[in-house]
A and B are shown apart, each in its own frame.
Chain A
Amino acid sequence: MNRFVLASLCIIAGFPTAATTQQPAPPPPNPPTHSVQGAVRVVDVRGRALEVTTGVGMALRIVRLEVPADVRVTAAGAALSLNQLVPGDIVRVSYGGKAGGYLAYTIERVGRMATGVEATP
């Protein structure tokens, strides 16, 4: 067996010394978690989606989030269902990016906005 064939076999089979030092493939990194606190603008129960108004100063923005069925929605520690959220609720949402949008991880209702009425966060 000449050296060329031996080298080719080693590459195909995996060189034994390389195999002993090879580390297991690291798990895929968790997507970074972001957090937003803002006012619910739209709750789409059927489409499992939420829109939150937030922003900086006068530069307001809307964050659109997918809400998978297993996402924990709470208020003062008690569990809620998505359809118990209404526009004007102030929510704190942890979320991460996914292809084409954002995915909610947790949603906590922390207060309520109400035009013409004092709101207590």
Chain B
Amino acid sequence: MTDRNRRLAAWCVALALAALSAACRRAPQPGDPLPGLSKAERARFDSGRVAFENVFTPGTGLGPLFNADGCAECHEEPVVGGAGDEIERHAAAFHATPPAGARACDELVALGGPVFQQRVTPALRAAVGIDSEPVPPEATAIAGRSSPDIFGFGLLDAVPDSEILARADPDDRDRDGISGRPNRFFDGRLGRFGRKAVVPTLREFNDGATVAEQGVTNPVVPDEGTFGGRPFPPGTDPTPEPELSREAIDLVDFFVRLLAPPAPQRLSREARQGRDAFASAGCDGCHVPVLHTGDSPIRALQHREVAAYTDLLLHDMGPELADICFANATPSEFRTEPLMGVRLMTRFLHDGRATTLEQAIELHNGEAARSRDRFRTLPAEERAALVAFLKTL
């Protein structure tokens, strides 16, 4: 063999090994980080998981009001970062014709809302004799809120506003029966996180969650708020603020940001048929299969395709599902729920009322009524195929 042939053979072997390595690279499993992290990023992700799994006590900052004693209490199934079986309680007051000098939606912030925590520390119970934060009589609706999995949320955070707004059609000018309205935070920025798409960024969602869910203050939200609009009695919050350090909340955020969405499974013949039915029924009008991320300081988040199955916009889901208003969202408007990782869920819709995907589809109404009706009229095997497709996501 000549030198030239030897070199050629070596190149071929190297190429084959590279191809084999790529083929064998494991697709992200639930709880895995996004692929392509540097060693330092991977180490930080692992440290973030530890911070995420931290369990608080009243002595380390828990409460006085809280829903959970740590992030992983609610984001735990099938692995840390997954969904939870807890149902939270949110409340608001909605007046279609607002009273003079008021907005149509009152999130009841002055009375402790919109999250009304369901647990209290022993010190608060002893001081005021309550077992949960009372929902005031001013509330016109109380909403249940299930804990979603948070896989792939860093990718959703990296989707540019322009991509979301490009799909908005608030007046349904294209006459497809689907509007799609952006919600906005109280300062006017585009919202995307939460079931009503109120929170603009993942960082803010995480910063706010330690306080709203665990009663653990941090440097960005250094006060406990109130209980029912009243200050906490002296002695019920003994830990100095902030109760969580900047470093700890940064680690939690890094972990959440880099959790990979579970890779969609390979489609069987039935699932391929179901994918076609999903499109022909018009489900993809709101559950948009692919979003694209923009620039990001983290390479693993830059310019990626995300199989998100959401448009991150609000849609009217009809009166049966309606609960609370929030910012610009009316009681019947909800953000399209991302379907990435839906195969891992055991409860569906914003309050977990559906226990099967078929039930969840049946409960769609409003702008989704046409797609639901198309699903109903499909032959049984096509309906089963559509559900089989969803179970690959």
Known: A56-B221, A61-B225, A88-B103. A119 touches B205 (CB 8 A): no
| Interface size, chain A (Cβ < 8 Å) | 31
Do the beta carbons of B182 and A62 come within 8 Å of each other? no
Do the beta carbons of B207 and A53 come within 8 Å of each other? no
Known: A87-B101, A115-B329. A59 touches B212 (CB 8 A): yes
Say if the beta carbon of B204 comes within 8 Å of chain A: yes
Do the beta carbons of B186 and A113 come within 8 Å of each other? yes
Do the beta carbons of B109 and A55 come within 8 Å of each other? yes
Q: List 21 A-B contacts (CB under 8 A).
A: A38-B186, A41-B103, A41-B110, A53-B107, A53-B109, A55-B208, A57-B205, A57-B206, A58-B205, A58-B209, A58-B212, A59-B211, A60-B113, A90-B187, A111-B188, A114-B328, A115-B325, A116-B328, A118-B328, A119-B328, A121-B189
Which residues on the B side are within 8 Å of A41 (C-beta)?
A: 103, 109-110
Which residues on the B side are within 8 Å of A94 (C-beta)?
A: none
Do the beta carbons of B186 and A54 come within 8 Å of each other? yes
Say if the beta carbon of A117 comes within 8 Å of chain B: yes
Whose C-beta in chain B lies nearest to the C-beta of A60? B109
Do the beta carbons of B103 and A39 come within 8 Å of each other? yes
Q: Which residue from B188, B223, B325 sits with its C-beta under 8 Å from A90?
A: B188
Say if the beta carbon of B40 comes within 8 Å of chain A: no
Known: A42-B101, A117-B328, A118-B182. A57 touches B188 (CB 8 A): no
- SS class, residues of chain B in contact with chain A: loop
Question: Restricting to B188-209, which residues have a CB under 8 Å from any CB of A?
Answer: 188-189, 193-194, 198-199, 204-209
Which residues on the A side are within 8 Å of B170 (C-beta)?
A: 118
Bound complex: CA A54 to CA B184 (Å): 12
Do the beta carbons of B115 and A58 come within 8 Å of each other? yes
- SS class, residues of chain A in contact with chain B: strand
Question: Restricting to A20-66, which residues have a CB under 8 Å from any CB of B?
Answer: 37-39, 41-43, 51, 53-62
Question: Restricting to B6-39, which residues have a CB under 8 Å from any CB of A?
Answer: none
From residue B338, how far is it (CB to closest CB) to chain A in Å?
18
Do the beta carbons of A59 and B328 come within 8 Å of each other? no
Bound complex: CA A88 to CA B98 (Å): 11
Whose C-beta in chain A lies nearest to the C-beta of B181? A118
Say if the beta carbon of A80 comes within 8 Å of chain B: no
Which residues on the A side are within 8 Å of B115 (C-beta)?
A: 58
Which residues on the B side are within 8 Å of A114 (C-beta)?
A: 104, 328
Do the beta carbons of A113 and B211 come within 8 Å of each other? no
Q: Give the number of A-B contacts (CB < 8 Å).
A: 108
Q: Which residue from A42, A90, A115 sits with its C-beta under 8 Å from B186?
A: A90
Which residues on the A side are within 8 Å of B208 (C-beta)?
A: 55-59
Do the beta carbons of B184 and A119 come within 8 Å of each other? yes
Do the beta carbons of A37 and B187 come within 8 Å of each other? yes
Bound complex: CA A90 to CA B187 (Å): 6
Say if the beta carbon of B293 comes within 8 Å of chain A: no
Bound complex: CA A39 to CA B211 (Å): 21
Encoded as 1 (CB less than 8 Å from any B CB) or 0, chain A from 81 to 101 comes to 000001110100000000000
Bound complex: CA A59 to CA B67 (Å): 13
From residue A37, how far is it (CB to closest CB) to chain B in Å?
4
Q: Which residue from B103, B110, B187 sits with its C-beta under 8 Å from A38?
A: B187
Whose C-beta in chain A lies nearest to the C-beta of B168? A118
Q: Which residue from A37, A61, A87, A113 sits with its C-beta under 8 Å from B327?
A: A113
Do the beta carbons of B330 and A116 come within 8 Å of each other? yes
Which residues on the A side are within 8 Å of B325 (C-beta)?
A: 115
Bound complex: CA A42 to CA B94 (Å): 16
Encoded as 1 (CB less than 8 Å from any A CB) or 0, chain B from 91 to 111 comes to 000100010011111010110
Bound complex: CA A121 to CA B104 (Å): 18
Q: Which residue from A58, A87, A119 sits with its C-beta under 8 Å from B194?
A: A58
Which residues on the B side are within 8 Å of A118 (C-beta)?
A: 168, 170, 181-182, 328
Bound complex: CA A33 to CA B186 (Å): 21
Q: Which residue from B101, B184, B194, B207 sits with its C-beta under 8 Å from A121?
A: B184
